[in-house]
Chain A
Amino acid sequence: MQDTVAPPPIIGDRTLTIQASPGIPIYIFATVFASFCVITGLIWDICWHMSIGRDGLLSPPHLVIYLGAVVAGLFSGYEILRKTFWGNAIEKAASVKIWGFFYSSLGSLFCVWGALSMLTSAPFDDWWHNTYGLDVTILSPPHTVLILGIIGIQFGAMISVIAVKNQMKLFGSLGEERVKASDKTLFWLFALSAGFLLTIWFTLISEELGRMRVHRSSYYVFAGAAFPLLLMAVGKAVSHKWAVTAVAAVYTALMLGTLWIIPLFPAEPKLGPILNHITHYQGFHFPLLLIAPAVVIDILRYRFAHWNDWKLTLLLGFAFLAVFFVVQWFFGGFLMESPYARNWFFGSHYWYFGNDPNWEYRYKFGPWMLEEMPQLLKGLGIALVLTLISTRIGLAWGNWMHKIQR
């Protein structure tokens, strides 16, 4: 194992092939923008269902999601066709060849796959509604096809960026300054795309990570299984001291931005039964404090950069769970119980229109929301095992991303 945070220097034998295409291609910006659209649209859509309830195929949040699909699909699709039919030999040499005919970057393939998947979900979902009813749940088979498509686009955006970023290392002849500037831009594009992916990661399991569950071990089982995977991967993928922190910061900023902006707009429930009468959008969630374990992970992986991945897994996995548990346990308690959390900043007062606003346990842990100590410890043990597995897979995934060239 020779993988370290600082990659081995590139031997300059093949830099000559790259000179023809300096700078960051426009489709990179487009795919990151598409990734932003789909996640923002999705959060808006969730708020829409919490506040208004019913929607149509062309509701505004859906349009934002579709815009993301169209942008990602068109730019990536065009990129593939352009390289295949009009690309020069150098571009083709820097592409993967698909089905013996098409030339593409890996990221574009994922983006096209995602866009196609999202398109497929539309007629499927329409039929589904006519057959099984207009569901308002997040997860149904056609919605899953849509979400897989969204993940495809977000993953594709991230892979597109990392491939270009990795290629930058080959631009020796461009001049130190330009490479550095491009590299910095690419780092932030990467942080954005990975942060958006982290946000959908969270959104998918957000029903398991509500503030009411924060004092149950299942909360940490889900978080431990889901988040280290991505956080460790981004740490490995790019050589930057604060990579994980940056990605967690993007997630935090996006969550806070939507939490603070969306409820400014008026909305009223259009579906009965209505138990909670509201006049404005209800916000999504206050972000998990992933930023805290992210900072610790960044410090640790910098300090112990020379360790091999198995030792790092133990160190980083344990550190993630310990820091996340301590921080989220107490902060979750604050969100749940404190009157100071019931405001626009923390948003604990946001409440689904179909739920009774005077419910006894709206701001109080009910007995079923708590666990006995032995049960909690057992659950945390399971969480630790899953965190370690997730960490190890994340490190391997990061190593792979670090190597992507095309």
Chain B
Amino acid sequence: MKSCFSLILFMLLSAASYAHVGSAGVQMQAQAGGYKVLVSIVPPDVIPGTAQVSVYIEYGEARKVSVRPIYFYSGDKGAPTSDALAPVAGQKGQFQGAVWLMEPGSSSAQISIEGMQGDAELIIPIVAVSTAERDMPKGLGIGLGIVGLLLFLLMITTIGASVSDGLLKPGQNLTPAQNRKRWINMGIATVICSLILYGGSSWWDSWAAEYKQWLYKPLKAKTAVIDTDSQRVFQLKIDTTNWDRRMKRSMLSTLVPDHGKIMHTFLVRTPGLDAFAHVHPDRKDTLTFEAALPDLPAGKYLVYSDIVQYTGFAETIVDTLVINAKPAAHVAKALSEDDTYIITDPLDTPGKVPMGENVVICGKPGTKTVFKDGSYAIWEGKPDKALEAGKPYQLNFEIFNPDNSPCFPEPYLGMLGHAVIMRSDGSVYIHLHPSGSYSMAAEQSFESRISDTAHVARWPKPDVFRDSIDRHLAQLKAMPTVDREIFLMKEMGMYNVTEGGMTGMEHGTRISFPYAFPKGGQYRIFLQIKRNEKVLTGAFDVKVSDPVTL
């Protein structure tokens, strides 16, 4: 039993939390030893490939910053020595470089800092998967085609010469018979070279097909609203069709809770992004997850569900769901205290929303955005200034009580706050946590793997593992809220027992999320905090422009 518990603990520590859609970049703000650093990583979209790593030392004086990749599978012992990142010319405290990711799976970048404040290390999880399919650029295709044709003709000519005038003594000329032989041989050479080219092209095709097979395929699921006891329940069933080839049979049994929940689901009404819910479906069986459906207005919803493997491999399951108007006979099922929803104004018609319970007006940077209980948040920034894609930002939110006094939010699922960032078309989705938060959990996951000297990660027994996680979740659910929050904070290494409070992040009135928008467009940010034991959700709009390329 004890070993079982330690196994669970180990698994819990492995939780990384940056599942996403269309937003592969990883940003992390953390305190590493005496340094305050912001790390931004752009993972490759083709594996094997190199991830671009940028480190900004915000506080401290670093002499040398280096990086090395550590795979969950092979751990510290199987990782290469680190490479120094190059200081960026003219930008004090900035370092850039690359880290090679050779195999798909759960990986990480370990960053070591040497400098005035001593030596420090931190670790950032990276999910290494191939997602890109590229065609050859036209110019390159034409260029290679021309050279290829030249090579083809030159080879045929050379073979022709080899059997004809190449054998003649100086000054001799070809006889008609020799000339005929030359043409015959060139004909044969053409056929053979064409066959070789055809073989090469088939080989290329099979290579492309092989690559396609290893391309990351997101998990698929069918979502539905089902009626049980005249109550509406959100249901998600994972679609396992064609799974054998991917050898993923046991993977759903080795999910681990992230912030105490096995699954985080976000429902957002499309196209206006004007209704939002954050629910936590429970696991009914390996494939089925269910949660009470909030009183969302009828419409078509994008559904994003985040799950995490015990290796730290985080995934988002995407589906669309049509929710009909609630039949009058239905009573609203009491939502779990951590589950919430809001209704806000549509993206294209700001300010136009009938007021009611759970309705909030969408804000902008620099303006006051009121939560439903009258408290409010101000997003630092200028209202009409577009942010730039690809650039790491600190999204800072200042929280106030209705009487304008500073508000210190309570922990919600062990965090000071949660944010969901979405692009208007749903092509970008990410579930973020304040600076240092998610990365600290992930850091510990990899730290426990690093301290494990096994060359190859041990794989748990799926059924035993799943049962132990289910028991743990049931225990967690039965705990009083305060105990649960303390447990979750401790688990993520953010609770200081002696001080009786949060560590690892500044527990103030300001919540920051480090993030780099992947591409330009209209974005909406849903910010979630907890005040007076109630989860509050606010919405903010921001325009992001594509970086100017010269």
A contact residues vs B (CB 8 Å cutoff): 14, 17-18, 53-54, 90, 93-94, 96-99, 106, 109-110, 112-113, 116-117, 119-120, 123-124, 127, 129-136, 140-141, 144, 163, 167, 170, 268-275, 356, 400, 403-406
* Given A117-B151, A123-B140, A123-B144: A273 touches B73 (CB 8 Å cut-off): yes
Residues of chain B with a CB closer than 8 A to A167's CB: 170
Contact pick for B158, options A110, A127, A130, A144, CB 8 Å = A110
* Given A96-B166, A141-B207: A270 touches B151 (CB 8 Å cut-off): no
Whether A404 contacts B100 by the Cβ 8 Å rule is no
> Does B211 touch A at the CB level, under 8 Å?
yes
Which of chain A's residues has its CB closest to B45's CB?
A130
B contact residues vs A (CB 8 Å cutoff): 46-50, 69-71, 73-74, 77-81, 83, 100, 102-103, 130, 132-134, 136-137, 140, 143-144, 147-148, 150-151, 154-155, 157-158, 161-163, 165-172, 200, 203-204, 207-208, 211, 455-456
Whether B170 contacts A90 by the Cβ 8 Å rule is yes
Which of chain B's residues has its CB closest to A18's CB?
B170
- In the bound complex, what is the Cα–Cα distance between A116 and B161 (angstroms)? 19
Interface centre among B78, B133, B211 (most CB of A within 10 A): B78
Residues of chain B with a CB closer than 8 A to A269's CB: 80
Residues of chain A with a CB closer than 8 A to B137's CB: 127
List, sorted by A's number, 10 A–B pairs whose CB atoms are closer than 8 Å: A14-B172, A119-B147, A127-B140, A134-B49, A134-B100, A268-B81, A269-B80, A270-B80, A272-B70, A273-B79
Residues of chain B with a CB closer than 8 A to A116's CB: 147, 150-151, 154
- In the bound complex, what is the Cα–Cα distance between A405 and B170 (angstroms)? 8
* Given A270-B80, A270-B83, A273-B74: A93 touches B170 (CB 8 Å cut-off): yes
Whether B144 contacts A275 by the Cβ 8 Å rule is no
What distance in Å separates the Cβ of A92 from its nearest Cβ neighbour in chain B? 9
Residues of chain A with a CB closer than 8 A to B70's CB: 272
Whether B148 contacts A274 by the Cβ 8 Å rule is no
Whether A405 contacts B166 by the Cβ 8 Å rule is yes
- In the bound complex, what is the Cα–Cα distance between A236 and B248 (angstroms)? 59
* Given A106-B162, A405-B169: A271 touches B102 (CB 8 Å cut-off): yes
Whether A141 contacts B208 by the Cβ 8 Å rule is no
Residues of chain A with a CB closer than 8 A to B79's CB: 272-274
- In the bound complex, what is the Cα–Cα distance between A133 and B48 (angstroms)? 5
Contact pick for B170, options A14, A135, A271, CB 8 Å = A14
What distance in Å separates the Cβ of B82 from its nearest Cβ neighbour in chain A? 10
Residues of chain B with a CB closer than 8 A to A18's CB: 170
Whether A94 contacts B81 by the Cβ 8 Å rule is no
Which of chain A's residues has its CB closest to B146's CB?
A120
What distance in Å separates the Cβ of B388 from its nearest Cβ neighbour in chain A? 25
Whether A406 contacts B165 by the Cβ 8 Å rule is yes
Whether A406 contacts B168 by the Cβ 8 Å rule is yes
Whether B200 contacts A144 by the Cβ 8 Å rule is yes
Contact pick for B167, options A132, A140, A273, A404, CB 8 Å = A404
- In the bound complex, what is the Cα–Cα distance between A90 and B136 (angstroms)? 47
Whether A124 contacts B144 by the Cβ 8 Å rule is yes
Interface centre among B140, B151, B456 (most CB of A within 10 A): B151
Which of chain A's residues has its CB closest to B144's CB?
A124
Which of chain A's residues has its CB closest to B71's CB?
A272
Residues of chain A with a CB closer than 8 A to B211's CB: 131-133
* Given A133-B49, A134-B48: A98 touches B170 (CB 8 Å cut-off): no
Residues of chain A with a CB closer than 8 A to B132's CB: 131
- In the bound complex, what is the Cα–Cα distance between A400 and B167 (angstroms)? 8
What distance in Å separates the Cβ of A54 from its nearest Cβ neighbour in chain B? 5
- In the bound complex, what is the Cα–Cα distance between A109 and B162 (angstroms)? 10
Whether A106 contacts B166 by the Cβ 8 Å rule is yes
Residues of chain A with a CB closer than 8 A to B151's CB: 113, 116-117, 120
Which of chain B's residues has its CB closest to A123's CB?
B140
* Given A113-B155, A123-B140, A404-B166: A132 touches B171 (CB 8 Å cut-off): no
Residues of chain B with a CB closer than 8 A to A120's CB: 144, 147-148, 151
Whether B158 contacts A109 by the Cβ 8 Å rule is yes
* Given A90-B170, A116-B154: A106 touches B161 (CB 8 Å cut-off): yes
- In the bound complex, what is the Cα–Cα distance between A133 and B129 (angstroms)? 11
Contact pick for A135, options B48, B80, B134, CB 8 Å = B48
Whether A270 contacts B171 by the Cβ 8 Å rule is no
Whether A271 contacts B166 by the Cβ 8 Å rule is no
Whether B167 contacts A403 by the Cβ 8 Å rule is yes
Whether A132 contacts B46 by the Cβ 8 Å rule is yes
Whether A14 contacts B200 by the Cβ 8 Å rule is no
* Given A99-B157, A123-B140, A133-B48: A17 touches B170 (CB 8 Å cut-off): yes
Residues of chain A with a CB closer than 8 A to B130's CB: 133
Residues of chain A with a CB closer than 8 A to B148's CB: 120
Residues of chain B with a CB closer than 8 A to A130's CB: 46, 134
Which of chain B's residues has its CB closest to A107's CB?
B166
What distance in Å separates the Cβ of B252 from its nearest Cβ neighbour in chain A? 26
Which of chain A's residues has its CB closest to B150's CB?
A116
Residues of chain A with a CB closer than 8 A to B102's CB: 53-54, 134, 136, 271-272
Residues of chain B with a CB closer than 8 A to A272's CB: 69-71, 74, 78-80, 102
What distance in Å separates the Cβ of A275 from its nearest Cβ neighbour in chain B? 6
Whether A17 contacts B46 by the Cβ 8 Å rule is no
- In the bound complex, what is the Cα–Cα distance between A223 and B397 (angstroms)? 71
Residues of chain B with a CB closer than 8 A to A356's CB: 455
Residues of chain A with a CB closer than 8 A to B143's CB: 123
Residues of chain B with a CB closer than 8 A to A132's CB: 46, 207-208, 211
Which of chain A's residues has its CB closest to B133's CB?
A131
What distance in Å separates the Cβ of A12 from its nearest Cβ neighbour in chain B? 11
Whether B165 contacts A141 by the Cβ 8 Å rule is no
- In the bound complex, what is the Cα–Cα distance between A116 and B154 (angstroms)? 10
* Given A116-B150, A269-B80: A136 touches B48 (CB 8 Å cut-off): yes
Residues of chain A with a CB closer than 8 A to B77's CB: 274
Residues of chain B with a CB closer than 8 A to A53's CB: 80, 102
- In the bound complex, what is the Cα–Cα distance between A163 and B166 (angstroms)? 9
Whether A274 contacts B78 by the Cβ 8 Å rule is yes
- In the bound complex, what is the Cα–Cα distance between A395 and B332 (angstroms)? 90
What distance in Å separates the Cβ of A56 from its nearest Cβ neighbour in chain B? 10
Residues of chain B with a CB closer than 8 A to A94's CB: 170-171
Whether A106 contacts B158 by the Cβ 8 Å rule is yes
Which of chain A's residues has its CB closest to B50's CB?
A134
Residues of chain B with a CB closer than 8 A to A127's CB: 136-137, 140
Contact pick for A131, options B46, B155, B456, CB 8 Å = B46
Q: 8 smallest A-B Cβ distances: which pairs?
A: A273-B74, A273-B78, A94-B170, A96-B161, A134-B48, A133-B48, A109-B158, A106-B166
Which of chain B's residues has its CB closest to A90's CB?
B170
Whether B74 contacts A274 by the Cβ 8 Å rule is yes
- In the bound complex, what is the Cα–Cα distance between A269 and B102 (angstroms)? 13
Residues of chain A with a CB closer than 8 A to B170's CB: 14, 17-18, 90, 93-94, 167, 170, 405-406
Which of chain A's residues has its CB closest to B135's CB?
A131
- In the bound complex, what is the Cα–Cα distance between A404 and B49 (angstroms)? 48
Whether A113 contacts B154 by the Cβ 8 Å rule is yes
- In the bound complex, what is the Cα–Cα distance between A93 and B147 (angstroms)? 29
Whether B49 contacts A109 by the Cβ 8 Å rule is no
- In the bound complex, what is the Cα–Cα distance between A271 and B163 (angstroms)? 49
Which of chain B's residues has its CB closest to A14's CB?
B169
- In the bound complex, what is the Cα–Cα distance between A405 and B163 (angstroms)? 11
What distance in Å separates the Cβ of A172 from its nearest Cβ neighbour in chain B? 13
Which of chain A's residues has its CB closest to B211's CB?
A132
What distance in Å separates the Cβ of B129 from its nearest Cβ neighbour in chain A? 11
Which of chain A's residues has its CB closest to B157's CB?
A98
A110-B158, A144-B200 known; 14 other A-B pairs, CB under 8 Å?
A14-B170, A18-B170, A54-B102, A93-B170, A106-B162, A113-B151, A113-B155, A132-B46, A133-B49, A272-B71, A274-B74, A274-B77, A400-B162, A406-B165
- In the bound complex, what is the Cα–Cα distance between A386 and B485 (angstroms)? 74
Contact pick for B46, options A109, A124, A133, CB 8 Å = A133
